[in-house]
Amino acid sequence: MNIALIAHDKKKNDMIRFATAYSEILKNHKLFATGTTGLKIMEATGLEIHRFQSGPLGGDQEIGAMIANNKMDMVIFFRDPLTAQPHEPDVTALIRLCDVYEVPLATNMGTGEVLIKGLQRGDISWRNIVRGNTENTITD
């Protein structure tokens, strides 16, 4: 599965703890992240991650393009609901794309844990059917 990991500045430490706790599950999938978040996760966990630009510089939109092209299977996006984001329209567009293309989306650690456990059990394998792929790992 292709999984995007995104975190606003005040949620990056939460994302690092999450990725560390679930690294044994995440290592079996292709990971994508916005710039700084991806770097911090890689440094903390050793996971291989394709890094896009940082969110404000277009990283959210790059992940959105993958969603719109049916190349993203799950998005874990730890948002900071208490801080105004200069790229809020991009954030809103990303969430909207997840809804339009039925891509599972977690916006906080609680929901992220539910999705990652579902991924571990195989509950997200329906994404392979949607994409016409019967393999467990998506590579492009």
Q: SS3 of 112, please? A: helix
DSSP letters along 54-79, please?
Answer: -GGGTHHHHHHHHHHTT---EEEEE-
For residue 87 the two structure tokens come to 């790229």
User: Phi-psi category of 134—alpha, beta or left, where left has phi over 0 and alpha has psi -120 to 50?
Assistant: alpha
Query: Does 60 participate in catalysis according to the annotation?
Result: yes
Catalytic: which of 14, 60, 73, 123? 60
CA dist., res. 16 & res. 131, Å (int): 29
Catalytic residues: 60
